[in-house]
């Protein structure tokens, strides 16, 4: 068997077999040599095998391992093996590799259908337990943050005001363009779709009611919360996660700083203050877009639009939407920060937890929204 | 193995190396020392092509580094191994997968052989076999360095670059790492370029020492450097730590 640079041949010589290795037994040729050496067999137990290295020009750990492995495989079958003509340069290498013999592999487990099915069921159970534990952990974190918040509110000097303002700027002010644009477009789309359907009943004017109720009660705040979860919730996780990777969180603790107080509270309070404002701004931009579309496509002039809007919405409609915003904000901020603290010391876990934090916070936001719907219908607004 | 002539490097407007010369002989261990920020790591990175020098010639394993095309550079890269300061293991891969990366990327190998060689390298650097399944984040600093060394040795390079291999290790682990490099060098015939701050490893395993002062290298054996009148070199080797390390060596020789 010959490869480009390295090779061997094996033939009987007197009462023994001789394996003559030749050429450059380096890692680059190892793949070819490996396949050829594995095919060797057919020496009866009790015979002798001499491995002759006289023709070997160069040897590295991979080559040495292949020779040793072959020798051991035959030895295990009762063949008496020996090395000869080992150049003095190669002897320490062979010794070193022999010392570092990798332990043999455990035999691969054969997996039948039943085992795979059982494994699958076990995996479902594992995931469920994991999710439940994560939920408990998250609730614990909410509690910890609440306690820290109450303690800080009693002594407001402890609050990091500079950090709070920075967070409000980052999560609120810099979100204005994207929130405004998306809300405007959603208003346009709803007005257009609503008008299209309502025109069949000659009730185009009720497009305004659809806009007013739909946007103020639900869409404005929900849309804003989802944008903020994607924008700021993920940023919280990545920031805190990167600090965790750098051991900055541990450093903070040793310096007597409470990471919850320093990192979580400014983000939490900042978001709770800005999200209602962002939602109100989104409401306004959606109605503006809807109004513009009503004027252009339906010929409802702005004064008529405003009058109809006044009739459509009650005094509570706006507040029904905005009241939800602080709860959404608290959820997004805490889920985002919590995921950041879960990061282990690897780059991959930062990415995984950032994804998880966004998915979790959007999921929870929609659950809370549903709970609010039930609550509002019970109290009758 | 490595020949550097008239190297000038500038990082962010600051000249780190000015007309620097260096020669690394086959089979030797060269230790590079110098003050913090004097550009030791930059020198290492320049030699392996991560940083472009401003002027000068770099020849590694007989190839002109600055005139190589991508294909030739990739071929050359498989003939050396690099251990970065913090091991730079890929954090999303297990230790065994980390070691297998160069083998997988550059060679066609059957999975069983890949597995055997990976475990062989683990054993070679003195890590227990079950380390292979662990992730870098689960390892101690010393174990990460060993795993990084195993990855650097995966392709059986002739030339090994080490960036502060013993920094951050306790003296026992650092001593064991020195012994490991000495053993590997004897059995694998390695040539080693080592940036270090560890006086003990300089004395224990380096054949020659290169001191990076005044943007140049002053190269010599320990005895030669001790006779060098340069104030920084005197302060380095004759300072309290240097004296302690040298005394330890003498004590060893007597005992």
**Integer Cα distance of B229 and A300 in angstroms:** 94
Length of chain B as a residue count? 255
Digit-coded pLDDT (tens) for B195-215: 988 888 888 888 888 888 888
**Integer Cα distance of B184 and B4 in angstroms:** 25
Digit-coded pLDDT (tens) for B138-175: 888 888 888 888 898 888 888 889 888 888 778 888 88
How many domains does one find in chain B? 2
Which residue in chain A has the smallest CA separation from B180?
A96
Question: Percent of chain A beyond pLDDT 70?
Answer: 96
Domain match, B168 and B142 both: no
Chain A positions in Cβ-Cβ contact with residue B123 (cut-off 8 Å)? 99-102
Chain B positions in Cβ-Cβ contact with residue A30 (cut-off 8 Å)? 107, 109, 113, 117
Of B109, B120, B135, the CB nearest to A97: B120
Residue A89 DSSP label: T
Assess contact for B203 and B23: CB atoms under 8 A.
no
Confidence of residue A87 (pLDDT cuts 50, 70, 90): confident
Cβ of B92 within 8 Å of Cβ of A348? The answer is yes
Evaluate whether residue B36 is within a structural domain: yes
Chain A positions in Cβ-Cβ contact with residue B110 (cut-off 8 Å)? 31, 34-35
Evaluate whether residue B246 is within a structural domain: no
Q: In what order do the strands lie in the sheet with A16-25?
A: A6-13, A16-25, A48-59, A80-84
Length of chain A as a residue count? 381
Q: How far is A117 from chain B (nearest CA, A)?
A: 25
**What mean pLDDT do residues B28-39 have?**
85
Of B91, B107, B108, the CB nearest to A348: B91
Evaluate whether residue B98 is within a structural domain: yes
SS3 A92: helix
**Integer Cα distance of A235 and B151 in angstroms:** 34
Evaluate whether residue B245 is within a structural domain: no
Q: How far is B116 from chain A (nearest CA, A)?
A: 7
Of A34, A89, A346, the CB nearest to B113: A34
Mean pLDDT of chain B: 83
Digit-coded pLDDT (tens) for A53-76: 888 888 888 888 888 888 888 888
- What is the residue extent of each domain of chain A? 6-99, 144-379
* CATH code, domain carrying B183: 3.40.50.300
Domain match, B29 and B99 both: no
Domain match, B112 and B131 both: yes
Evaluate whether residue B148 is within a structural domain: yes
Q: Find residue B59's DSSP bridge partners.
A: B3, B64
Which residue in chain B has the smallest CA separation from A31?
B109
Pick the CATH number of A6-99 from 3.40.50.150, 3.30.750.24, 3.30.70.20, 3.40.50.10860: 3.30.750.24
Assess contact for B89 and B102: CB atoms under 8 A.
no
**What mean pLDDT do residues B116-134 have?**
85
Instruction: Give the per-residue pLDDT at A109.
Output: 58
Assess contact for A198 and A207: CB atoms under 8 A.
yes
Evaluate whether residue B180 is within a structural domain: yes
Chain A positions in Cβ-Cβ contact with residue B189 (cut-off 8 Å)? 89, 93
Q: Find residue A20's DSSP bridge partners.
A: A9, A52
Cβ of A101 within 8 Å of Cβ of B123? The answer is yes
User: How does strand B2-11 pair with strand B55-60?
Assistant: antiparallel
pTM of the model: 0.67
Instruction: Give the per-residue pLDDT at A107.
Output: 52
**What mean pLDDT do residues B63-77 have?**
82
Domain match, B66 and B130 both: no
Chain A positions in Cβ-Cβ contact with residue B119 (cut-off 8 Å)? 102-103
Confidence of residue B10 (pLDDT cuts 50, 70, 90): confident
Of A28, A96, A345, the CB nearest to B124: A96
Domain match, B3 and B100 both: no
Nearest to A323, CA basis, from A279, A283, A282, A380: A279
Question: Percent of chain A beyond pLDDT 90?
Answer: 48
Residue whose pair of structure tokens reads 């909410």 in the numeric block:
A142
Domain match, B166 and B118 both: no
Residue whose pair of structure tokens reads 């252009």 in the numeric block:
A296
Cβ of B116 within 8 Å of Cβ of A99? The answer is no
Domain match, B8 and B27 both: yes
A307 or B66: which leads in pLDDT:
A307
Dihedral-angle region of residue B130 (phi above 0 means left; psi in -120 to 50 means alpha; beta otherwise): alpha
Domain match, B94 and B140 both: yes
What residues make up the domain containing B119? 87-156
Domain match, B127 and B199 both: no
Cβ of B124 within 8 Å of Cβ of A93? The answer is no
Cβ of B113 within 8 Å of Cβ of A30? The answer is yes
Instruction: Give the per-residue pLDDT at A1.
Output: 40
Evaluate whether residue B255 is within a structural domain: no
Domain match, B211 and B108 both: no
B194 or A1: which leads in pLDDT:
B194
Domain match, B145 and B130 both: yes
Q: Does A30 touch chain B (CB under 8 A)?
A: yes
Q: Does A246 touch chain B (CB under 8 A)?
A: no
A346 or B116: which leads in pLDDT:
B116
Evaluate whether residue B115 is within a structural domain: yes
SS3 B18: strand
Mean pLDDT of chain A: 87
Cβ of B156 within 8 Å of Cβ of A27? The answer is yes
Of A89, A96, A344, the CB nearest to B137: A344
Q: How far is CA A313 from each of CA A139, A209, B97, rounded to the nearest angstrom?
A: 37, 7, 62
Determine which helix (DSSP H) or strand (DSSP E) holds B124, and give its type and residue range: helix B111-124
Cβ of A96 within 8 Å of Cβ of B188? The answer is yes
Cβ of A97 within 8 Å of Cβ of B156? The answer is no
**Integer Cα distance of B174 and A137 in angstroms:** 40
Domain match, B52 and B177 both: yes
Q: Does A242 touch chain B (CB under 8 A)?
A: no
Chain B positions in Cβ-Cβ contact with residue A247 (cut-off 8 Å)? none
Residue A2 DSSP label: B
pLDDT at B254 over 50: no
Question: Percent of chain B beyond pLDDT 70?
Answer: 97
Confidence of residue A170 (pLDDT cuts 50, 70, 90): very high
């Amino acid at each position: 068997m010959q490869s480009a640079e390295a090779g061997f041949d094996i033939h009987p010589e007197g009462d023994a077999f001789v394996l003559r290795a030749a050429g450059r037994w380096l890692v680059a040729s190892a793949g070819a040599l490996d396949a050829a050496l594995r095919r060797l067999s057919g020496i009866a137990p009790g015979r002798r095998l001499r491995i002759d290295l006289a023709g070997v020009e160069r040897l590295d750990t991979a080559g040495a391992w292949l020779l040793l492995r072959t020798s051991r495989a035959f030895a295990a079958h009762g063949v008496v093996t020996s090395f000869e003509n080992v150049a003095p340069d190669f002897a320490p290498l062979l010794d070193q590799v022999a010392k570092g013999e990798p332990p043999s592999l455990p035999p691969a487990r054969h997996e039948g259908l039943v085992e795979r099915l059982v494994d699958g069921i076990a995996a479902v159970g594992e995931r469920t337990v994991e999710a439940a534990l994560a939920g408990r952990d998250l609730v614990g974190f909410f509690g910890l943050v609440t306690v820290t918040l109450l303690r800080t509110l009693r002594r407001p000097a402890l609050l990091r005001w500079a950090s709070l303002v920075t967070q409000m700027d980052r999560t609120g002010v810099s979100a204005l363009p994207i929130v405004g644009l998306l809300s405007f477009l959603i208003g346009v789309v709803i007005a257009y779709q609503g008008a299209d359907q309502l025109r069949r009943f000659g009730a185009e004017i009720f497009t305004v009611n659809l806009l007013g109720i739909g946007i103020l009660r639900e869409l404005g705040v929900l849309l804003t919360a989802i944008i903020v979860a994607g924008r700021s919730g993920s940023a919280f996780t990545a920031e805190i996660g990167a600090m965790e990777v750098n051991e900055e969180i541990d450093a903070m603790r040793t310096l007597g700083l409470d990471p919850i107080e320093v990192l979580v509270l400014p983000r939490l309070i900042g978001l709770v203050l800005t999200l209602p404002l962002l939602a109100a701004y989104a409401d306004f931009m959606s109605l503006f877009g809807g109004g513009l579309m009503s004027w252009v496509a339906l010929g409802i002039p702005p004064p008529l639009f405003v009058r109809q809007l006044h009739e459509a919405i009650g005094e509570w409609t706006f507040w029904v939407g905005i009241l939800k915003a602080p709860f959404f904000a608290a959820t997004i901020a805490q889920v985002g920060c919590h995921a950041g603290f879960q990061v282990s010391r690897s780059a991959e876990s930062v990415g995984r937890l950032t994804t998880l934090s966004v998915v979790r916070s959007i999921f929870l936001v929609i659950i809370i929204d549903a709970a609010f719907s039930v609550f509002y219908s019970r109290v009758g607004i | 193995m490595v020949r550097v002539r008239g190297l000038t490097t500038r990082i962010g407007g600051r000249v780190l190396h000015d007309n620097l010369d260096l020669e690394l002989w086959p089979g030797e261990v060269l230790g590079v020392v110098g003050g913090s920020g004097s550009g030791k790591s930059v020198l290492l990175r320049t030699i392996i092509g991560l940083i472009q020098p401003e002027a000068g010639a770099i020849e590694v394993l007989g190839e002109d580094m600055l005139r190589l095309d991508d294909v030739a550079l990739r071929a050359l890269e498989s003939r050396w191994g690099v251990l970065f300061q913090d091991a730079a293991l890929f954090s999303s891969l297990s230790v065994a997968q980390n070691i297998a990366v160069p083998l997988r990327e550059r060679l066609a190998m059957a999975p069983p052989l890949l597995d055997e060689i990976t475990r062989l390298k683990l054993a070679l650097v003195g890590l227990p076999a079950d380390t292979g399944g662990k992730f870098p984040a689960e390892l101690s600093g010393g174990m990460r360095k060993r795993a990084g060394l195993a990855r650097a040795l995966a392709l059986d390079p002739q030339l090994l670059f080490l960036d502060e291999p013993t920094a951050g290790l306790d003296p026992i682990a650092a001593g064991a790492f020195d012994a490991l490099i000495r053993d590997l060098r004897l059995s694998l015939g390695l040539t080693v370029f080592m940036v270090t701050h560890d006086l003990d490893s300089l004395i224990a395993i380096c054949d020659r020492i290169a001191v990076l002062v005044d943007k140049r290298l002053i190269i010599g054996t320990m005895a030669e450097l001790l006779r060098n009148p340069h104030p920084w070199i005197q302060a380095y080797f004759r300072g309290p730590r240097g004296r302690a390390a040298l005394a330890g060596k003498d004590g060893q020789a007597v005992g």
